[in-house]
A and B are shown apart, each in its own frame.
Chain A
Amino acid sequence: MEPLAFVEVMGRHGEVTARHPIWRWPSRVGRSYEMDVLLDDPFVAAGHLEIREGPNGGFQVEDLQSVNGMVVLPSPEKRTCVEVKPEDVVRIGHTQLRIRPRSYAVAAERPILQTTAYRQSVLFLIVAAVVLATFVWDAYLTTSHRDEKAIMVILVALAVAAGAVWIAVWSLVGRTVGGRVNFAAHGFVACAGVLALELWTMAVGYLAFGFDAGWLETLGLAGAAALFAYIVYHHLRLASRSGRRMCAAVAAVVSLVAFGGAAVLTNLTAAMDPAVQSHSQSLKAPLFLMVSGITPAAFLEGADRLKQEVDAMASD
């Protein structure tokens, strides 16, 4: 004898947590031991549902006058008798159910993604080592006293701790939402991302300074926002079951909120506080300077724009 259909109990994120075969019509669902499908949810009645074949090829489910009733998601409307399709999710008590016939056609096998390559711990460790080296270099550059090893250790330790927390949070999200930890893969994404961000920021900084191109700094910020979005996208792809589009949209929104919010906040502060002087503060070693510089007179001509700006502010 073969089962006629399956009642699938769904987890919060769309995963199937239990699957019960149906051997006869009608079948009943509830907490009682007399039921065909037994549920342990205290918000479900002893006899809650009855399932039979529907007239239109689906399954007819009927609420057996339970206290909490039955809804077909996503609508909150209580139903007493309704025909459901294999994709519909029915909620009784706190339990979500789906009914699928034996003949249900499953999706094609998913190819193992190329991203698997970076799930290997070895790659993560290599990139992490490179990032650590850049942290040490950065810390070295920012010290200006004869003996600041302690400060360097603190700076590097702080950076490493922040990175570890970031990776751990994504792994935890992955474990909760997607059922996979993927620590090494998240580590690889985070480290490669930080490395890319550092290289990008450094390149833009030196180019903007060397060629006296202030606009590059603005472009640099936009680029950093895009890189950040790309990092978040990969974390999301690893951690969730959502598709590429969904992940890309969420990543874009996260980056936009983070970078856009910071930019808005900075501008607001500058507009509110008459002591803030917003100009490029980037100063690199003279050997990176590629331009011969403009004359003092040409520089001061640019002040006309400043005058117009502050005159407009004063007349507001």
Chain B
Amino acid sequence: MRTCSLTVAMSLLRGICCLSVAAVCIPAAAQEPEIFSRTHSLFEQIRGSVAQIRVLLGSSDSHAATGSGFVVGDDGLIITNYHVIADNALEPDVYRLEFVLPGGRRGPLQIVAIDVLNDLAVVKGDTGQVKALGFRARPLAKGDGGFSLGYPLRQGLTVVEGIYNGRSEELYYERIHFTGAINSGMSGGPAVDSAGRVFGVNVATHRGGQLVSFLVPAGFATKLLARARALSAPPPANFRGDVGAQLKAHDRALQKALEAPLPTQQLGPLIVPARMGTFMQCAAGTERERDKAYDVNSYYCYTLSWLYVDPKLQTGTVMFRHRVLRSLELDPLRFAHVQEMQFRAAVSSDYTSRKHHTAYACQDRIVALQGVRAKVAQCLRRYKLFDGLYDMVLKVATLGDSSLALHSELQMDGVSYEHAMELSHRFLETIRWNR
């Protein structure tokens, strides 16, 4: 799963949209069910409060991105996703924000407060006399219906029906699993109950799934709103400091979540770190080909804790991978060459850019682990916009046997130096070769 991005494979998503509309439309031709008239009146009741949020490049009218948002007060405050307005938060000299309401009223927006961890932002504009949406106090029950609103794929204001499925069981931060066709462009729009009260904010969709979408629970939005209203100082020139501080808070929380002794698993004679918590997703695979004279079994786990920072950076995850290389009929020298090729491949985040990252600095040594010696390489790079945050990669290749080797990697994105060193140390201390 990826946090909702505004550049999605449009054709695929259009395909999914069309299917759902057709399924609903066929019975509608026969007789208008009651649910439609209810949806219609609900839509009429709240449509005026849902704005399209546009990110514009410089003084031009060209959209760099679009999203949705909803008015929450007479003071012109609008709630949206952080990822919708991220460009403006980090580079206000390059990007500007604009809202457009269904009646055609439009105007510039200023960011008031952001919550990177929960992907929310409060922005302010001259919205005029628009009805503010209220929040639902109690959570819905699993199976309850709800409606999500927004501007999907620039199709105009759209309402989508869906089912509340409780809290997502795997994500690190609390998200509502909502079964509904939330599409790119609806990010930041409200999800409301049948009375029109907001219980969640559209945030993401499962790209590989069918209608598996995610909402930020309304509680986080009300907290951010309270924080925004309590602010007395004018907003800063840009929000880089705020984003950096929140990324650090995330790192501290993740460090705390990972502080328990590392669970282990056995891979042949090897004991290696295993899944470190419920917020980690793990998978295994094997590369076995008929004519290959060696095989590789891979095990990898990663935290479901991505944070969207801007289009060029998602961070805040910890990933590790173990690969057991076993020679089937290679002599030690040829097997060593296979190992060398595997060790050579760089391990790095999908998000790499000169805007955000320095080059890597690396070291490598022969390290004595428990019961086995290993070549260990470590690379570190720093974030340019956020002080004290690093990406770290640790690579281990055991040298205990001429026909069996473990290649392990630990990759930490957006962490403090101390956290990187502390987990690296425990990771290395945990690997053991039982003779």
Residues in A neighbouring B384, C-beta threshold 8 A? 314
Contact of A289 among B334, B366, B393 (CB under 8 A): B366
Chain B: number of interface residues, binned into ranges: 35 or more
| A280 to B292 alpha-carbon distance, docked (Å) | 26
Given known contacts A294-B367, A302-B365, A310-B380, is B360 in contact with A274 (CB within 8 Å)?
A: yes
Query: What's the nearest-Cβ distance from chain A to residue B331, in Å?
Result: 9
Asked if B233 is at the interface of the complex by the 8 Å CB criterion, the answer is no
Indicate the member of B332, B346, B358, B420 with the most A CB atoms within 10 Å.
B358
**One of B97-105, B216-224, B394-402 contacting the partner:** B394-402
Residues in A neighbouring B368, C-beta threshold 8 A? 292-295
Which residues of A in the span 262-299 have a Cβ within 8 Å of any Cβ on B? Answer: 270-287, 289, 291-297, 299
Instruction: Report yes or no: A306 in contact with B380, Cβ–Cβ below 8 A.
Output: yes
Which residues of B in the span 297-342 have a Cβ within 8 Å of any Cβ on A? Answer: 329-330, 332-340
Instruction: Report yes or no: B293 in contact with A293, Cβ–Cβ below 8 A.
Output: no
Given known contacts A276-B346, A307-B417, A314-B383, is B353 in contact with A146 (CB within 8 Å)?
A: no
Asked if A147 is at the interface of the complex by the 8 Å CB criterion, the answer is yes
Query: What's the nearest-Cβ distance from chain B to residue A221, in Å?
Result: 16
Which residues of A in the span 196-227 have a Cβ within 8 Å of any Cβ on B? Answer: 212, 214
Instruction: Report yes or no: B362 in contact with A277, Cβ–Cβ below 8 A.
Output: yes
Given known contacts A275-B348, A276-B359, A289-B366, is B337 in contact with A141 (CB within 8 Å)?
A: yes
B347-377 interface code vs A (CB 8 A; 1 in, 0 out): 1100011101111111111111100011111
Which residues of B in the span 27-81 have a Cβ within 8 Å of any Cβ on A? Answer: none
Query: What's the nearest-Cβ distance from chain B to residue A264, in Å?
Result: 15
Asked if B153 is at the interface of the complex by the 8 Å CB criterion, the answer is no
Given known contacts A214-B364, A272-B354, is B343 in contact with A281 (CB within 8 Å)?
A: yes
Instruction: Report yes or no: A277 in contact with B376, Cβ–Cβ below 8 A.
Output: no
Instruction: Report yes or no: A306 in contact with B378, Cβ–Cβ below 8 A.
Output: yes
Residues in A neighbouring B399, C-beta threshold 8 A? 283, 286, 289
Given known contacts A144-B337, A276-B346, is B373 in contact with A313 (CB within 8 Å)?
A: no
Task: Count chain A residues whose beta carbon lies closer than 8 angstroms to a beta carbon of B.
Answer: 48
Instruction: Report yes or no: A306 in contact with B367, Cβ–Cβ below 8 A.
Output: no
Given known contacts A141-B333, A280-B364, A296-B429, is B402 in contact with A287 (CB within 8 Å)?
A: yes
B422-435 interface code vs A (CB 8 A; 1 in, 0 out): 00110011000000
| A145 to B402 alpha-carbon distance, docked (Å) | 17
Which residues of B in the span 273-292 have a Cβ within 8 Å of any Cβ on A? Answer: 289, 291-292
Asked if A143 is at the interface of the complex by the 8 Å CB criterion, the answer is yes
| A240 to B330 alpha-carbon distance, docked (Å) | 48
| A116 to B380 alpha-carbon distance, docked (Å) | 55
| A141 to B293 alpha-carbon distance, docked (Å) | 12
| A272 to B291 alpha-carbon distance, docked (Å) | 39
Instruction: Report yes or no: A314 in contact with B382, Cβ–Cβ below 8 A.
Output: yes
Asked if A65 is at the interface of the complex by the 8 Å CB criterion, the answer is no
Residues in B neighbouring A278, C-beta threshold 8 A? 360, 362
Which residues of B in the span 140-175 have a Cβ within 8 Å of any Cβ on A? Answer: none
Closest 6 CB pairs of A and B: A293-B368, A274-B357, A296-B428, A279-B362, A313-B358, A309-B361
Measuring CB to CB, which residues of chain A are less than 8 angstroms from any residue of chain B? 140-147, 212, 214, 270-287, 289, 291-297, 299-300, 302-303, 305-307, 309-311, 313-314
25 chain-A/chain-B pairs, Cβ below 8 angstroms:
A141-B337, A142-B337, A145-B289, A274-B352, A274-B354, A274-B356, A274-B381, A277-B348, A279-B364, A281-B340, A282-B340, A284-B336, A286-B332, A286-B373, A293-B367, A299-B363, A299-B376, A303-B378, A303-B417, A303-B421, A306-B379, A307-B417, A313-B358, A314-B358, A314-B382
Known A274-B357, A279-B379, A310-B380; further 11 A-B contacts with Cβ < 8 A? A144-B338, A212-B365, A270-B359, A276-B346, A279-B364, A285-B335, A293-B367, A299-B363, A300-B428, A305-B363, A310-B360
